Structure 1
Amino acid sequence: MRFSLSPKTIDILAYIISGGVGNNQTKPIGIYRSGHDIEKFMRACKVEFSLNGSRVPSLVSRLIDINNGSEPEEVLTRIIEAAADPRDFAEDRQRHAAVLDHLNQALRYDGYELKQQGYRVRLVVVGHGVPVVEQLSGMAETINFDTVKRDLDRALASIETDPEDAITAACSTIESVCRSILIELGEPLPARKDVRGLFDAVKAPLGLSPDRTDIDPQIAGDVRTTLGGLATVIQGVGSLRTHAGDAHGRERGYARVDARIGRLSIYAASAVALFLIETWQHKFQARPLHRHDGLV
């Protein structure tokens, strides 16, 4: 499906960015921006823009050009997310909520919506804002697990158009979490660096081995069953990557799965990844968090 916004959505986006006409006595939902401010806003979004007459018509015309251009999704996504940037409304949370609501009322008719993920607002396909995915995205951004965030974003972006790549990225999300945790704990990476090998390496320091003896006997069996299920999910996601993903290349006309399986992989991988991060944070509460660029 080609990314495209309706004329109504374009008008509302322009209204939010510009703050509407200058002689309006009511407080704008968005932020009132002068012509110079709109040019500055668009430059920050890496978009060339110059006034050609009045502020709002000039902005609407430029947004329409982008919408009809060769890369509307990439460019308009930047603009929409910038228009709803929470930092611009830090002193007025209610106004930010109104901006999100106003934009989403229009965007949902086009199949998209804005969702709060951590400290940022993201444009996603309607229905893809699953709580566990949103929580993982926000947590990965907060603790600077940058590779985890990139893998998850790649998985979400590929669900509809390339579910095989979404499956590969979903598995990579778990792998990135495991690698990041091992490096944070100063543990060596295992010789086998696939998802099963990395999970096996992280189980001991996180206390996730099924043969633990420090568990209340009344729930020991349940814990072992749950941990066994966790390993089964990881094995399943890894197998899907091997048999249905694109990690090992694809032949001409390859299409083995649809978006449903891509979503299943992402949701399962997100639940596992979130559990691993929360377990690490719970077990090592006093350990500082660092960013290891290029290592994870």
Structure 2
Amino acid sequence: MQDIPNSVIGAVSSVLGAYYYSHSRLNSLFMESGAPGDVPEGNCEDKCARWLKRCNDESDIDALAVLGHVIQSFMDDDNPNDERQRGQERIRTALARNQLAYHMNGVITLAGATPASKTLADFFKMGDFASIEMEFDRAISNVVSDPHAAITAASAIVEAFCKTYIEAHGLGMPAMQTIAPLWKVVQRALGLNPDRLLGDDENRILSGLTSIVDGIGTLRTHIGSAHGRGIAPPPIASSDAQLAVNAAHTLVTFAMERWHSKR
């Protein structure tokens, strides 16, 4: 198993240490990612560096796999703010200088290699419900420790489904590739718009799908982790974040079933 190069440790520690203002957030992030041992001492940057170096020292730890999980949430946002975009580029540059590359879902490979794990798009195309369940389980795991990140993950999964469906069917991609415009394209293609020929009950459910999308998108914009949270992020109860994740799960599962039942 390959060690994390020192220059990558330096870049990741500097970026994450500055971006995540909370020691408890970093502690949860590393522990959930499988980093070994007790919480290291030091400021946020030192803590990240010491934990990543410890991964290299443990022979039974896949250090690059831990690194991938640690930076996944930070790297996978496709609409980052300026600070996050600069951090993403710094990490990618450090990896490239060491012949490494980052891929979606926390996969780090040798530059030019194809990641062994499938992407979300692959799961959607195959109708792999079990793997999508795992993605939502990952979002749920953040509900208590970081509800803002859980909401961002829920929105990102819905957006990923919509983009995959649009690309797979050669549909026109909307100019604004955010959750609401993306869903409108998929909703029309799957026949999920309210219809006067349907009964009131069915129309209420179909209208509810749009409300779910609007609600998740609004939450992500206002209090999700994707656009930076500042020193005092807007508060949100873990129960509210869990509601958003569960609603996204219901929406995506239903839409996937409709897609694959038409094949």
**TM-score normalized by the length of structure 2:** 0.50
Structure 2 CA distance, aligned partners of 1:206 and 1:142? 17
**Do structure 1's residue 224 and structure 2's residue 203 form an aligned pair?**
yes
> 1:193-249 deviations in whole A, cap 9, x for unaligned?
221111111112101111264x5xxxx221111101111111111111122212222
- Which position in structure 2 is the counterpart of 1:269? 248
Deviation at 1:261, TM superposition (A): 2.0
> 1:115-158 deviations in whole A, cap 9, x for unaligned?
xxxxxxxxxxxxxxxxxxxxx9x96495479x978964662443
Structure 1 CA distance, aligned partners of 2:162 and 2:206? 16
- Which position in structure 2 is the counterpart of 1:250? 229
Q: Give secondary structure in 2 for the equivalent of 1:199.
A: helix
2:179 pairs with one of 191, 195, 216: 195
Q: 1:234 to 1:268 in 2, by over 3 A?
A: same
One-letter amino acid of the counterpart of residue 178, structure 1: C
- 8 Å CA contact 1:166, 1:262 repeated in 2: yes
Q: 1:243 to 1:66 in 2, by over 3 A?
A: closer
1:114-193 correspondence runs (5 A): 140=124, 143=127, 152=136, 155-193=139-177
One-letter amino acid of the counterpart of residue 165, structure 1: A
Q: Give secondary structure in 2 for the equivalent of 1:181.
A: helix
Structure 2 CA distance, aligned partners of 1:250 and 1:150? 26
Q: 1:186 to 1:141 in 2, by over 3 A?
A: closer
Cα root mean square deviation, aligned: 4.0
> 1:169-202 deviations in whole A, cap 9, x for unaligned?
1111111111111111111111232211111111
Structure 2 CA distance, aligned partners of 1:281 and 1:173? 18
Structure 1 CA distance, aligned partners of 2:128 and 2:215? 27
- 8 Å CA contact 2:127, 2:260 repeated in 1: no
- 8 Å CA contact 2:152, 2:225 repeated in 1: yes
Structure 1 CA distance, aligned partners of 2:215 and 2:232? 25
> 1:244-286 deviations in whole A, cap 9, x for unaligned?
2122221213251132222111111111111111111112x1x
Structure 1 CA distance, aligned partners of 2:252 and 2:236? 23
Structure 2 CA distance, aligned partners of 1:242 and 1:252? 17
**TM-score normalized by the length of structure 1:** 0.45
Structure 2 CA distance, aligned partners of 1:157 and 1:254? 20
Structure 1 CA distance, aligned partners of 2:257 and 2:164? 13
Structure 1 CA distance, aligned partners of 2:216 and 2:164? 19
- 8 Å CA contact 2:123, 2:132 repeated in 1: no
- 8 Å CA contact 2:124, 2:164 repeated in 1: no
- 8 Å CA contact 1:206, 1:279 repeated in 2: yes
- Structure 2 gaps of 5+ residues are 4-34, 40-50, 63-119
Q: 1:67 to 1:248 in 2, by over 3 A?
A: closer
Structure 2 CA distance, aligned partners of 1:140 and 1:232? 23
Deviation at 1:68, TM superposition (A): 4.1
**Do structure 1's residue 205 and structure 2's residue 184 form an aligned pair?**
no
Q: 1:233 to 1:255 in 2, by over 3 A?
A: same
Task: Figure out how many residues of one structure are paired with residues of the other and give that number.
Answer: 162
Structure 2 CA distance, aligned partners of 1:241 and 1:139? 23
- 8 Å CA contact 1:151, 1:172 repeated in 2: no
- 8 Å CA contact 1:140, 1:149 repeated in 2: no
Q: Give secondary structure in 2 for the equivalent of 1:175.
A: helix
Q: 1:254 to 1:224 in 2, by over 3 A?
A: same
| Structure with bigger gyration radius | 1
- 8 Å CA contact 2:193, 2:207 repeated in 1: no
**Do structure 1's residue 279 and structure 2's residue 258 form an aligned pair?**
yes
